[in-house]
A and B are shown apart, each in its own frame.
Chain A
Amino acid sequence: MRKLIFPVRCCLTAGKNIVQRLKTKIMKKEDKRTICRQADSSRIKQKIGFGIISLCMFTTVLFLFAIICFIGVKGIRVISWEFLTQAPRDSMTAGGVAPAIVGTICLTLGAVLFSFPLGVACAIYLCEYTPKSYIVNIIRISINNLAGVPSVVFGLFGLAVFVKYFGFGVSILSGSLALGIVVLPVIISAAQEALLAVPQSLREASLAVGATKWQTIKKLVLPAAMPGILTGVILSIGRVAGETAPILFTAAAFYLKGYPKSIFSEVMALPYHIYALMTEGSHPDQQTAIAYGCCLILLCLVLLVSAIAIFIRQKQRSYYHG
């Protein structure tokens, strides 16, 4: 009897176990399914979100590439060694644009030389020397508003003040100063942000070893903020090189035979040259081709300068962040 019952029992318990296992398996599966369903829906949402964002990103990049390609294809036709090194001939239909390239470089350099020290000093004053107060807020707001002033206004201002009142005439100096004012707010706000990003603990550490405020700024805060400040300069170079309105009345000449001789001479500049080629003269076809060539050169100049500044910034950054 026993011999019979034992295997039956065994079978029964085994069966029970199997049923139990199946049950838990099914339950687990169902659990998994609901979890999966939730995961699926969040994953789809995530995919849609990423999709939209990347679409926006690609559109932006597309614009940039479209511009570069368009200008590149149209401009490359007229680019030659002669185009880069010679002055215009035959009422702008032949020859090169070398004086305009040199002029743009002079104006950009002048504007940065003027606005960089001024802007950095201003940012240091606002960030390091003045406690937060009503007046400082007003100054900040004024600077931000300065950034919003249309550049042609600076052109007129430059004409009235630098050209006429100070008697600099239509010259590199007047143009550089007018351009400098245009980019001053960019440099100031970049410098301010860079200074604010330097941790307070560094200033404390320096003061605690008996450094004066000035020593702390000069030897510690400013070097640490320099990469950020250079970013502002990069941005400003791009703007200065391309601005037309401020130099319209202050620096630019339609046509010059040679290169500028001093900071008091008139210059040709690429952006104004493009404008002149497209609006004046009697050979529109040739002039348009040359204008595209100028655009390409201007783009390359800006990209080149930016690349140099980024290189400097990276070098400093890697030094200051170990």
Chain B
Amino acid sequence: MDNQTSVKIKAQDVNFFYGKHQALKNIKLDVLANQVTAIIGPSGCGKSTFIRLLNRMNELVSNTVLTGRIYLDGQDIFASCVDSVEIRRRVGMVFQKPNPFPKNIFENISYALEVNGIKNKQFVEERVIESFKKAALWDEVKDRLHDSALKLSGGQQQRLCIARCLAIKPEVILFDEPCASLDPISTRKIEELILELKKDYTIAIVTHNMQQAARVSNYTGFFLLGELIEFDKTETIFKSPKDQRTEDYITGRFG
């Protein structure tokens, strides 16, 4: 196996419970390095739950149980010796609703560096600019870095969140329905950005928009009622799915 297709994240027999409700059933899924892996499925199928396991965000919800293992570069991320903060540094996340901090635009990014112990002013400044450029936001914010981030438009806020995520140079970026609250033009900008980022990062994206999955991803997994029905190359999933349910969903018969 060459570097292009090495496994970055490996989920093995993952079961996940909210109280008594089983949200994920025996999920086996590999996220390959430097690829975009899309997870599609109808609402409530567990796709967001799954992606939030990959950076241990699920720990914020009480009364949950996880069985099975998730490996990042072969290391079990839920092992007792592993710090969740460390995992989140390596696996960044962009959320469904843009969630900029109630700070100014510059501080939104520098915060990410600050909490990771990077304090050198010049370095921080360079890294902030670099992140904005990578997130294709620099031209829009360079003259207003000290304005409140809450004054930006929804699409700009989401790109700000991506820039914030990029600032700490994660290895993997998880997108949890990043375009759900955005208009088509902002959505296209984010999608272009994802295609651009794929060169340097491993990306997993949850979406309920199948066209989006088809446009940006190399691999697609189809979730239904907590089960992974089918996982394959995106082309295969969309052109010749093996499972009837996948085909029904993709052709719009339900969902």
Contact = CB atoms under 8 A, between A and B. Distances in A.
Contact of A209 (B97, B115, B150): B115
A212 to B, nearest CB: 5
Give the interface size class of chain B.
20 to 34
Given A205-B95, A207-B57, A208-B165, A215 B115 contact: yes
B57 A210 contact: no
B53 to A, nearest CB: 13
A201 B95 contact: yes
B151 A322 contact: yes
Contacts of A320: 102
B250 to A, nearest CB: 31
Interface string A126-137: 000001100000
Contacts of B57: 204, 207-208
Given A206-B115, A209-B165, A201 B99 contact: yes
Contacts of A131: 62-63
A219 B110 CA distance: 12
A208 B88 contact: yes
Contacts of A322: 102, 148, 150-151
Interface residues of A, number: 24
A202 interface: yes
A208 B55 contact: yes
A321 interface: yes
Interface string B101-134: 1100000000110111000000000000000000
Contacts of A202: 99, 101-102
B46 interface: no
A205 B102 contact: no
Given A205-B161, A209-B112, A321-B150, A220 B101 contact: yes
Contacts of A211: 85, 111-112, 115-116
Given A204-B95, A205-B161, A224 B115 contact: no
Nearest to A132: B62
A205 B101 contact: yes
A219 to B, nearest CB: 7
A313 interface: no
A209 B55 CA distance: 10
B167 interface: yes
A210 to B, nearest CB: 4
A210 B112 contact: yes
B168 interface: yes
A140 interface: no
A135 to B, nearest CB: 13
B72 to A, nearest CB: 14
B164 interface: yes
Contacts of B99: 199, 201-202, 204-205
Nearest to A320: B102
A58 B57 CA distance: 51
A203 interface: yes
A137 to B, nearest CB: 14
Interface of A: 131-132, 199-212, 215, 219-220, 224, 319-322
Q: Which 3 A-B pairs have the closest CB atoms?
A: A210-B89, A211-B115, A322-B150
24 contacts: A132-B62, A200-B60, A201-B99, A202-B101, A202-B102, A204-B60, A204-B93, A204-B99, A205-B164, A207-B57, A207-B88, A208-B92, A208-B93, A208-B165, A209-B92, A210-B112, A212-B85, A212-B115, A219-B111, A220-B101, A220-B111, A319-B148, A322-B102, A322-B148
Interface of B: 55, 57, 60, 62-63, 85-86, 88-89, 92-93, 95, 97, 99-102, 111-112, 114-116, 148, 150-151, 161, 164-165, 167-168
